[in-house]
Structure formats: structure tokens, C-alpha cells
């Protein structure tokens, strides 16, 4: 069964939530992956949204974190301060799903500005709850399309800390969570090296080669010695994804 690169990315993102209890969900690609997980690998997954919905079960993809459907289908509605003060900052959420406008070799995320902060070329949506999610969730999975525009040598602004400037950076900042453990793109999967914390390409999606991944990266991308090929989407996964996107 044929599929698009974005479909491969969404399916692989959903697979990362197979054994997870609770996931903090961003809008866009992260929301697609998390909601697909509930329809496939983890029907009991608890989706947590920044506006306060805990255990939301949206029948379609929400338009925003404040989509009324999230509240209507949630197990519980918390205030925004409670979401962050009680659930996120103490580390009670296992996985945070985040997107990015820019990402660097240490998985630092920019969603604030492109260019100089005072005189930006583009002003982006901003931080929202992403800095707290990146700091305090047990781990973070970043979902972003891979291109030189997005994968840059150095982000123009660090909105959410990934692995800072390398080994020990998160510890020096007192950040509770592990930070980004995987970056899922339309080309493959990157993971931080256990010592340098620099992102390394560990998987390529079917039909993608190393040179494509390198050409889509704004730094000298390191490749894992045991580079693997991602399992292609199954017919059931694609059917569930397409039904979700069409709802």
C-alpha cells in the first residue's frame, strides 16, 4: 500500500507512544501522531492539552489547544496553572510531543523568531507551554519535517532547551526531564548521542538514502554505525491515519 512521507512520519510518531501512559500534546504534527496512537497502538493513552483537557478523546484532530471538543471529551478539566504546576513541572507527564520551526544539532527548539529578535525576518507563534514541557516531561519527542531551513547549525532563538550546548547542559540548568530522546522527521529518526548529546541519524524511512538526509540538514549530520530502516506503515495504520485526517 503506497503512502506519503508525512504519513510515515505520523505513523512512526504514534508508535513511540505504544507503552506510554500520558502524553502532553502540541498542535499540528504532534497532535496527529498522538491521536493516531489512541486509534492504533495505545487506545488507553491519556492525552493532555495545555488549555487544561486531561484524557481528551477527540473524534477529529483539534483545531487548537482550546478547541471545545477537547473539553467535551476530557476526563477532567484543569486550570492552566494546575496543568503546569501540578502535572508538568513535577514530572508527572511521561512524554511531551513538540513541533519546531527550527532545530539545531543539540535538539534546541525555536518557535519564537527567525532572524534577530529585535528585528526578525519572521515572528513565529511563540513558546506557549513548550519550554516547560521540554524542561520537565520525562522525555520529549520532536516531530518536524526535515529541511535546511528547519535543521539549522544554530537556532536563532532558543525557545525550548533540548540538550543546550552538549553534555551536562540540562543538569547545569536544573532541568528535570531527559529532554528530546527522538526527533522524527519525514526522512528518518534522529537520537542524541549518549555522550556528546548531538543528534545522530539512527533510522531512515523506506526509500530515503543518507545523502537525502544530509542535504536536508544544516550541519554535518552524523550517521549511526548500525543505521536501520524504519518499518513501513501497515495497511491498518494507514487506514486509521487517513480516517483521522478526513474526520
Q: Which residues are catalytic?
A: 50
Cell of 160: 525550548
The number of CA neighbours under 13 Å toward the Cβ of 190 is 29
- Give the span between the Cα atoms of 245 and 11, in whole angstroms: 12
Burial readout 133-159 (b: 16 or more C-beta within 10 A, e: otherwise): bbbbbbbbbbbbbbeeebbbeebbbbb
- What phi and psi, each to the nearest 5 degrees, are found at residue 121? -70, -40
- Give the span between the Cα atoms of 58 and 74, in whole angstroms: 8
Q: How many helices (H) and strands (E) does the chain have?
A: 8, 14
Q: Exposed, middle or buried, 223 (CB in 10 Å: 0-12/13-18/19+)?
A: middle
DSSP state of 232: P
- Give the span between the Cα atoms of 5 and 145, in whole angstroms: 9
Measure Cα distances from 76 to 55, 57, 65 in Å. 7, 11, 15
Amino acid at each position: 500500500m503506497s503512502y506519503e512521507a508525512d504519513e510515515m512520519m505520523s505513523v512512526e510518531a504514534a508508535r513511540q507512544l505504544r507503552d506510554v501512559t500520558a502524553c502532553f500534546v502540541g498542535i499540528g504534527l504532534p497532535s496527529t501522531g498522538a491521536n493516531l496512537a489512541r486509534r492504533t497502538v495505545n487506545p488507553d493513552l491519556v492525552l493532555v492539552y495545555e488549555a487544561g483537557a486531561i484524557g481528551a478523546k477527540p473524534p477529529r484532530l483539534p483545531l487548537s489547544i482550546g478547541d471545545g471538543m477537547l473539553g467535551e471529551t476530557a476526563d477532567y478539566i484543569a486550570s492552566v496553572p494546575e496543568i503546569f504546576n501540578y502535572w508538568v513541572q513535577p514530572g508527572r507527564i511521561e512524554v511531551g510531543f513538540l513541533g519546531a520551526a527550527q532545530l539545531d544539532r543539540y535538539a534546541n527548539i525555536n518557535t519564537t523568531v527567525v532572524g534577530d529578535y529585535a528585528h526578525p525576518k519572521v515572528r513565529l507563534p511563540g513558546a506557549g507551554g513548550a519550554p516547560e514541557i521540554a524542561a520537565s516531561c520525562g522525555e520529549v519527542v520532536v516531530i518536524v519535517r526535515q529541511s535546511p531551513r528547519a535543521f539549522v547549525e544554530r537556532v536563532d532563538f532558543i525557545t525550548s532547551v533540548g540538550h543546550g550546548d552538549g553534555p551536562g547542559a540540562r543538569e547545569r540548568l536544573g532541568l528535570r526531564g531527559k529532554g528530546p530522546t527522538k526527533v522524527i522527521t519525514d526522512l528518518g529518526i534522529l537520537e542524541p548521542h549518549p555522550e556528546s548529546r548531538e543528534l545522530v541519524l539512527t533510522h531512515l524511512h523506506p526509500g530515503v538514502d543518507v545523502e537525502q538526509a544530509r542535504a536536508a540538514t544544516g550541519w554535518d549530520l552524523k550517521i549511526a554505525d548500525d543505521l536501520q530502516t524504519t518499518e513501513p506503515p501497515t495497511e491498518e495504520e494507514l487506514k486509521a491515519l487517513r480516517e483521522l485526517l478526513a474526520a
